[in-house]
Amino acid sequence: MALLDFVRDIGNKLFSNEDEAPAKITQHIENNNPGLTNLSVEVKDGVATLSGTADSAAAKEKAILMTGNTAGIESIVDNIDAPAATETVNYYEVKSGDSLWKIAENTLGNGADYQKIFDANQEVIIDPDKIFPGQKLRIPTMA
| Residue 50 C-alpha from the chain's centroid | 13
Q: Which tens digits make up the pLDDT trace of 113-128?
A: 999 999 999 888 989 9
Q: What are phi and psi for residue 137, nearest 5 degrees?
A: -130, 150
Distance CA 120, CA 35 (A): 15
pTM of the predicted model over 0.95: no
Which amino acid is located at 22 in the chain?
Answer: P
Distance CA 2, CA 81 (A): 19
Beta-bridge partners for 41? 50
Query: Which pLDDT value is given to residue 1?
Result: 34
Q: How many CA within 13 A on the CB side of residue 118?
A: 15
Q: Which domains, and CATH codes, for the chain?
A: 21-81 (3.30.300.30), 90-139 (3.10.350.10)
At 87, the pLDDT band (50, 70, 90 cuts) reads confident
Q: Which tens digits make up the pLDDT trace of 32-58?
A: 887 999 999 999 999 999 999 999 999
Q: Which tens digits make up the pLDDT trace of 8-24?
A: 988 889 999 999 999 99
| Mean pLDDT across the chain | 92
Length of the chain: 143
Cα separation of the two ends of the chain = 24
Q: Which residue has the higher pLDDT, 65 or 5?
A: 65
